[in-house]
């Protein structure tokens, strides 16, 4: 097998692994959430009921902000940030900062998700709750896929940016269907 064929085989294997892992993680969270008995009085960091929802909305907004920073840093790393020259050098701190902020954002989602699963499970009605629940499950699957792509040495150039962009879009959807919904008096445009 020549070098190009090996690379293509590796890329297909990496893509299949990432998609399979994303599907497995998403499905596992969905099944866990569907089989939980909701405990509507469950607390988050000592906050309960509306106070817990308010705290989650604020934390989710911080995570949304971190996702925007992640997007800007990724555009900078890939030399696609408007206002910077394509041939300019990316400071070494940019990739490190991208990793640290990504880790913080991911870790920040964990208590929110644990509370959501414990309190509500995965809800499929109304439509807003279904979109929120399903996109939150998908977020972790997309994150798992991105980790596979990050660890791959011979990756098609579009795979990692697609995974990262998918994560940012998913964070926006989760925030829109939860934090914005809370801040806007329990309704959001489109629902």
Please list the alpha-helical segments (H only) found in the chain.
Answer: 3-34, 49-77, 93-119, 127-151, 159-175, 181-183
Does some domain include residue 53?
yes
Give the total number of structural domains in the chain.
Answer: 1
pLDDT at res. 1: 66
Q: Helix or strand or coil: residue 47?
A: strand
Share of the chain above pLDDT 70, in %: 99
Domain annotation covers residue 40: yes
In a domain, 27, yes or no: yes
pLDDT band for 8, please (50, 70, 90 cuts). Answer: confident
pLDDT in tens, 125-144: 999 999 999 999 999 999 99
Report the predicted TM-score, pTM, of the whole model to 2 decimal places: 0.92
**Per-residue model confidence as pLDDT tens digits over 16-70:** 999 999 999 999 999 999 999 999 999 999 999 999 999 999 999 999 999 999 9
Domain presence at residue 163: yes
- The residue that leads in pLDDT, 59 or 12, is 59
Residue 191 maps to a domain:
no
Residue 189 within any structural domain of the chain: no
**pLDDT at residue 64, rounded to an integer:** 98
Q: Which residue range forms the structural domain that includes residue 117?
A: 3-183
**Contacts (Cβ under 8 Å, ≥6 apart) of 88:** 79
3-state secondary structure at position 129: helix
Residue 140 lies inside a defined structural domain of this protein: yes
Residue 188 counted as domain residue: no
| Mean pLDDT within 147-154 | 84
Distances from the Cα of 118 to the Cα of 39, 107, 152, angstroms: 6, 17, 35
pLDDT at 154 over 90: no
């Amino acid at each position: 097998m020549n070098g190009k064929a090996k690379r293509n085989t590796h890329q297909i294997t990496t893509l299949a692994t990432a998609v399979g892992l994303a599907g497995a993680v998403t499905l596992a969270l969905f099944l866990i959430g569907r089989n939980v008995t909701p405990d509507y009085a469950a607390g988050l960091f000592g906050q309960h009921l509306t106070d817990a929802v308010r705290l989650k909305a604020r934390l989710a907004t911080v995570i949304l902000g971190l996702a925007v920073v992640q997007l800007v840093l990724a555009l900078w790393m890939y030399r696609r940030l408007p206002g910077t020259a394509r041939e300019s050098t990316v400071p070494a701190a940019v990739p490190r900062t991208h990793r640290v902020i990504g880790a913080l954002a991911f870790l920040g989602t964990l208590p929110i998700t644990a509370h959501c699963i414990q309190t509500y499970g995965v809800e499929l009605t109304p439509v807003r709750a279904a979109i929120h629940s399903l996109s939150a499950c998908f977020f972790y699957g997309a994150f798992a896929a991105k980790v596979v792509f990050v660890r791959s040495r011979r990756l098609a150039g579009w795979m990692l940016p697609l995974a990262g962009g998918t994560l940012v879009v998913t964070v926006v959807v989760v925030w829109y269907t939860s934090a914005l919904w809370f801040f806007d008096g329990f309704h959001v445009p489109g629902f």
